[in-house]
Structure 1
Amino acid sequence: MAQPEVKSESVGTVVVAGAANLAIAAAKLVAGLISGSAAMLSEAAHSVADTTTEVLLFVALRRGARPADARHPFGYGKESYVWAFFAALFTFVAGAGFAITHGVTTILVHEHSGDYLVSYVVLVVSFVIESISLARAVRQVRRESRRWRTTPLRYLRLTADTTVKAVVLEDSAALVGLLLAGLGVGLSELTGDELWDGVASVLIGLLLLVVAATLAYSNLSLLVGRGVPDRLRREIERSLAGLPEVQRIDTLLTMQLGPVDILVAAKVDFDDEATGAAIEAAADEAERRLRSRFPEIRFLFLDPTRSLPGATLRSRPAPEPPTGDPPTDPGAG
């Protein structure tokens, strides 16, 4: 059975985002120390948190793609969600915690020293770099959403590749945070009141809280054992029920084993007249058919079962599209 591989496009997206955040974090820190701006220092903490997050996401991709062994026969795909969850927690504690605390302190103390100009320069440069990183992630999301015949937003909401989701959300939050920081610094300079700088810092922290909570929830759901989206599940069921030897599907269970691995298990009522050889052939055909349409299905288990007393057979599904058709939208339904 083929072993999972690191998704190279996701690795590239994470590496680009990490390198961008590292450079931006250093620039923001220098600008924050020179200008004394709370919003700039909060943005520096934001970028440090994002950089650490990218490192953890890179680890997630590498460790999650390790081949299955005797102790982990289904592979290590779920470990990627553990590291991605740690990344969300770090964003919550280090990024949001620092930004909110420092912002509240600035509101209460109203201290500021230094030149505002350096803050504006760093904000503009950071915005350009973050935009480049986000553009790469968005291109990947669009390609994947076209493959699954869904919208980018729906794909992003339901995808099991939480590393890409993390990069898109964090880069989007970074751009919003830069705008908030620029607004806070600008209002503070215009009014001479550091209240606005502190408020901007608090808002940046709250923004990070939202991102961290969203990513944590998504990874926890996958760690618990989330099934595939409804539309994809229906397509799998239709494909199995379309085999000539199959009378009905009594139970169909699915689970995301990792970003690119799916487990499918079904209780199948085969035709009473079918021979053992015919059932074996049907099982092989089911595996071939499903994997040709959905390469993410790594494990398929079919359990022959008798029809329940008094159960009525399901009507035959409509003919399937040609094998080469791309998978159906996983986000609908």
Structure 2
Amino acid sequence: MRDRAQGSSGRSDADRSTRLTVFVALAANLVIAAAKAVGGVVAGSPALLSEAAHSVADSLNEVFLLAALRRSRRPPDERHPFGYGKERFFWSLLAAVGIFVMGGCFSVFQGVEALRNGADETHSGYVAGLIVLAVALVAEGASLVRALHQARGEDRGLKDPALRTVVAEDGTAVLGVLFAMAGMALHMVTGQVVWEASASLAIGVLLVYVAYRLGADARAQLIGEAADPELSGRIRERLAEEPEIDSVEALFTMKLGLDSTLVAARVDLVPGLDSEEVEEVMVRIKRSLDEEFGETDQIFLDVTDRLAQEVREGPAATGERGGA
């Protein structure tokens, strides 16, 4: 119980750190989005406007992540007996959709429009726009460094979808700013809008790819992803070590949340145990698994009897052979 309390305290501390990281990213994105939008309108820069849309999408996504952190910690209730851990995955999926629609699609649209219609060749305001991007690069880089530092300092690392999304957003933002700066600079030097349009298209493609990866991860977890193979293997080995278990016939796992895993095993016990002994053995094994693997908080053991199963299947098998 003490270890579980310490684990719960550690998870709460990790959640607080993640929440602070998301708040830092949100504050940076709101300020940067406003600066990019003003600079993009003044300069008439499609790359800068694409970056503004990117920052707006990131800001909205941070709100989604804050909702995920708050709602996923609610305790189990009658309607949701396994808790609300998957809320984290749901809101991460919405964040991925936001990156795709508000960031990726708008950036591609800006790039295509710039290629079709050209751009303002006076470059008025481009210097100010480059300064805005330089400031944004520093802010996004600082937010990325904090998120990576937190990921390295925690046991669960980037397994937390909220923290993983922040790292992906900030990393993409740094690359996007570099693309935009390169496109604007080349546009100013060569007078060819194709450079800036290409930068906007590159930003869009990058955002679409990141959104796809984040969305695929969230989808896998929402529909019922198994635990890590390493954890499943350790659980199977631990069950096989129990003297009362003759064999582990089947083992199924599913992630219910960041720190919650369902374990369902079908085991065959050694002969000679009566019903009371079986019940005591099952209780002890569940307690043992719960203590050793803190995240396996939902454990179900199904006792099978291979001999009885063979007896039940015998007539069916014999009938099939006779019919043939």
Same fold (TM over 0.5): yes
Query: Are residue 124 (structure 1) and residue 134 (structure 2) matched?
Result: yes
Corresponding residue for 1:79? 87
Secondary structure (helix, strand or coil) at the match of 1:228 reads coil
The Cα shift of 1:143 comes to: 2.8
TM-score (norm 1): 0.83
The equivalent residue for 1:268 is 267
Residue 33 (1) aligns with residue 41 (2): yes
Trace 1:304-315 onto structure 2 (pairs within 5 A). 304-307=303-306
Pairing partner for 2:145 from 135, 139, 152? 135
Please show how residues 37-48 of structure 1 align to structure 2 within 5 Å. 37-48=45-56
Residue of structure 2 in register with 1:176 after alignment: 175
3-state SS of the aligned residue for 1:120? helix
C-alpha distance after superposition, 1:243-300 (max 9, x if no partner): 2211111111100111221111111112223344543443344333333333221211
- What amino acid sits opposite 1:142 in the alignment? R
1:12 maps to: 20
**Residue number among 64, 68, 71 corresponding to 1:63 in the alignment:** 71
Q: Does 1:254 align with 2:253?
A: yes
Kindly provide the amino acid, as one letter, of the partner of residue 143 in structure 2. S
Residue matched to 2:322: none
Aligned residues: 299
Does the 8 A contact of 1:130 with 1:174 survive in 2? yes
Q: Look up the equivalent residue of 2:80 and give its one-letter code.
A: H
Give per-residue Cα distances to partners, 1:109-148, cap 9 Å, x unaligned: 221242221122111211111112111221232234xx37
Aligned residue for 2:256, secondary structure, equals strand
For residues 143-166 of structure 1, the C-alpha deviation after alignment (integer angstroms, 9 at most, x for no partner) is: 34xx37xxxxxx64xx3x211211
User: Structure 1, residues 64-108: CA drift from partner, whole Å, max 9, x if none?
Assistant: 221111111111222322222111111111111111101111122
Q: Is the 8 A contact 1:245 1:278 kept in 2?
A: no
Provide closer, same or farther for how the CA distance between residues 268 and 203 of structure 1 changes in structure 2, counting only shifts above 3 A.
Answer: same
- 1:174-217 superposed Cα distances (whole Å, 9 cap, x missing partner): 11101100100110011112221111011101110001111111
Matches of 1:72 and 1:135 in 2, distance apart?
37
In 2: Cα distance, 1:290 partner to 1:18 partner: 40
User: Are residues 256 and 39 of structure 1, via their aligned partners in 2, closer, same or farther at CA, if it must alter by over 3 Å?
Assistant: same
What are the equivalent positions in structure 2 for 1:156-175 lying under 5 Å apart? 156=158, 159=159, 161-175=160-174
Partner of 2:302: 303
User: Where does the alignment leave 5 or more consecutive residues of structure 2 unmatched?
Assistant: 311-324
- Structure 2 match to 1:211: 210
Q: Distance in 2 between matches of 1:110 and 1:235?
A: 61
Letter in 2 for 1:223: L
Aligned: 1:91 with 2:90: no
CA contact (8 A) 1:29 1:41 kept: yes
Secondary structure of the corresponding residue to residue 234 of structure 1: helix
Greater radius of gyration (CA): 2
| Partner SS, residue 306 of structure 2 | coil
With the length of structure 2 as denominator, give the TM-score of the two structures. 0.86
Conserved? CA contact 2:39–2:125, under 8 Å? no
Give the helix-richer structure, 1 or 2: 2
Alpha-carbon RMSD across the aligned residues, in angstroms, is 2.2
8 Å Cα contact 1:243/1:282 also seen in 2: no
In structure 1, stretches of 5+ residues that fail to align are 149-154, 311-333
